[in-house]
Amino acid sequence: MASNPVLKRAAARSVRYDTVEAMIAALDPSYPVYCLRSSVLRERTRRFLDSFPGTVLYAVKCNPHPLVLRALYEEGIRHFDTASLPEIAQVHEMFPDATAYFHHPVKSRAVIVNAYEVYGVRHFVVDHIDEFRKLVSETGARDLIIMVRMATPESGAAYNLSAKFGARPDEAVMLLKTADEEGYRTGLAFHVGSQCLNPAAFKIALDIANRVLDASGAKIDYLDVGGGFPAAYVGRETPLLEDYFAAIRTGLEQLKLPQGCEVLCEPGRTLVANGCTLVTQIHLRKGDSLYLNDGIYQSFSELVAGYIRLPARLLRPNGAPSERSMDFTIYGPTCDSLDVLPVPVHLPADAREGDWIEFGRIGAYSNAVSTRFNGFYTDTFVEIGDASWPPRNV
């Protein structure tokens, strides 16, 4: 595949401001602006790399922006969880020395061939025997690493990812046996669900993995505990990251993993959510309703699907807003009446047209899932030197 000029331009046009207020003063933006705090991304990444008992893969789908990937790479990420050929190509073009893992359980035949032959991908996830046969027949290769993804029980996560993918334990046993007996290197993978607030879910999944491995007799080369590590959103009690690592270590101690078996994880949200905020502008006020230039078809779709609440603050460079505050209904820019945030946002009572609102902790699944519906699209990124978010008044 040819190099992607859009990605290269995006990576090259980084503009930096000391603070969000300085950005507003310079740009006076009537369009939404993503404000990336690279130092926050780096701190969270370093914490993960230093504490997780294995190899850390960044889940590219969570936020594939070149500035985000660059910050993670420069802090030490060299392995990437990818789910499509464009994601694999992006990783390959930006970081030729990095490793992409093709962790989507369902792939087209043409994509398999290109991933293997063009980009050198060797790690492939399957959760069905037909997908395994497809990999073998299309590549004709003996150096494939077959990662069998098994389903896990519901864990109270915001998104149950085993509803769509994952083999039942008996199916996982069969797949591991088949791949092992046919001479392939193997691995076992699972995902407890996105935004998982129960660290014990990893211990439960590892107990199931232990039974699968015992029944299969396969000597796996990889054990992938997936993602699910949460971000701290408003109104939700979030366990410490160390609680998840402790549960994983406890589960691993009970496994009889072969010597040299590499343990993997696939964090996304927990690495990038706090590393980006979004500055929007009020274009109209109607009573207790505010109409913004961004909405659920752009940066805020996950607020609906995951019922997530974000911290927010009002910015008015040329005057102080009211100390009295109230709840506002927030509408997005499209003509669709569904374009409204699912929960009110608490702001100064005198919020008005021309004010800006900065939403925090929006680095995960925002620009990554934004659409161009009705012609509205949010794609402006700047870097902010000030890492203090949220401010004390939020």
Distance of alpha carbon 187 from alpha carbon 158, whole angstroms: 26
Exposed, middle or buried: residue 200 (CB in 10 Å: 0-12, 13-18, 19+)? middle
Confidence band (pLDDT; 50, 70, 90) for 2?
very low
Confidence band (pLDDT; 50, 70, 90) for 156?
confident
Q: Which two tokens stand for residue 91?
A: 């990783």
pTM of the predicted structure, to 2 decimals: 0.93
CATH architecture, domain defined by 5-36+273-384: Beta Barrel (2.40)
Confidence band (pLDDT; 50, 70, 90) for 394?
low
Distance of alpha carbon 38 from alpha carbon 50, whole angstroms: 18
Nearest C-alpha neighbor of 23 from the set 386, 392, 287, 382: 382
Distance of alpha carbon 111 from alpha carbon 65, whole angstroms: 22
Tell me if 258 sits within 8 A of 188, measured CB to CB.
no
Phi/psi-derived region of residue 374, left when phi > 0, alpha when psi is between -120 and 50, beta in every other case: left
In this predicted structure, what is the pLDDT of residue 197?
A: 94
Exposed, middle or buried: residue 10 (CB in 10 Å: 0-12, 13-18, 19+)? middle
Domain 38-272 fold is TIM Barrel (3.20.20)
In this predicted structure, what is the pLDDT of residue 390?
A: 64
In this predicted structure, what is the pLDDT of residue 12?
A: 42
pLDDT 10s digits, 209-263:
999 999 999 999 999 999 999 999 998 889 999 999 999 999 999 998 999 999 9
Tell me if 362 sits within 8 A of 33, measured CB to CB.
no
Tell me if 186 sits within 8 A of 132, measured CB to CB.
no
Q: SS3 of 131, please? A: helix
Least confident of 9-18, 177-186, 216-225, 278-287: 9-18
DSSP category for residue 146: E
pLDDT 10s digits, 59-115:
999 999 999 999 999 999 999 999 999 999 999 999 999 999 999 999 999 999 999
Nearest C-alpha neighbor of 124 from the set 133, 140, 135: 135
Pairing status of strand 222-224 against strand 145-149: unpaired
Nearest C-alpha neighbor of 82 from the set 124, 52, 135, 49: 124
Whether the bond into 390 is cis, omega within 30 of 0: yes
Strands (DSSP E) found in the chain: 16-17, 33-36, 55-59, 79-82, 99-102, 123-126, 145-149, 185-189, 222-224, 262-265, 276-286, 289-292, 312-315, 325-331, 345-348, 356-359, 381-384
Q: For the chain, what is the mean pLDDT? A: 93
What is the domain partition of the chain in residue ranges? 5-36+273-384, 38-272
